[in-house]
Each structure stands twice: as structure tokens, then as C-alpha cells.
């Protein structure tokens, strides 16, 4: 998981769906989907990382957290500029 971008999401959440679609459309490499509806460990990691359970959230390979659609979109767009 060290080089992966982790997307913490919920299937029924609209912004989570928008981020999933964006990641797929932009062909973001190494995007790991962490569904909070089926993974207690993902929820625990998210709670430990940002102090609450919220979606969508991305944890980048450097350990930085990007919370909400706008922050994640900015992060993804920045990846494409490199």
C-alpha cells in the first residue's frame, strides 16, 4: 500500500461516486478503493487519520489526507500535471 492512493468511500454517497468516476476517467494509477460499508479496518484507519469517519477522503502515498470532493479533485488534477 505504500505507493497507492487510497480512496475511502461509501457506495451510496454521491460525492464518493463522483470521485470514483473521476479517478477512473483520469486513469489514476494505483488507486485503491476502501469501502467503509464493508471494511471496519478502513473506518478505523480513517478515524485515526482525520479524527472522524467522513467520505470521500483520499490518503496519498506521502500520508497526506485530502477531504471532500474539491480537495480530491485538486489533488488528482495536480497528479496529471506532473
d(CA 49, CA 17): 22
- Its domain, for residue 51, covers 5-81
pLDDT tens per residue, the chain (82 residues)?
A: 567 999 999 999 999 999 999 999 999 988 999 999 999 999 999 999 999 999 999 999 999 999 999 999 999 999 876 5
Strand partners, 58: 7, 66
Into how many domains does the chain fold?
1
Phi, psi of 12 (to 5 degrees): -85, -5
| Geometric angle at alpha carbon 78, from 72 and 79, rounded to 5° | 95
Amino acid at each position: 500500500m505504500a505507493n497507492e492512493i487510497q480512496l475511502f468511500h461509501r457506495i451510496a454517497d454521491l460525492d464518493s461516486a463522483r470521485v470514483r468516476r473521476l479517478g477512473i476517467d483520469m486513469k489514476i494509477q494505483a488507486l485503491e478503493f476502501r469501502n467503509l460499508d464493508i471494511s471496519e479496518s478502513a473506518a478505523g484507519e480513517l478515524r485515526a487519520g482525520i479524527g472522524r469517519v467522513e467520505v470521500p477522503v483520499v490518503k496519498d502515498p506521502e500520508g497526506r489526507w485530502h477531504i471532500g470532493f474539491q480537495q480530491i479533485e485538486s489533488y488528482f488534477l495536480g497528479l496529471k500535471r506532473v
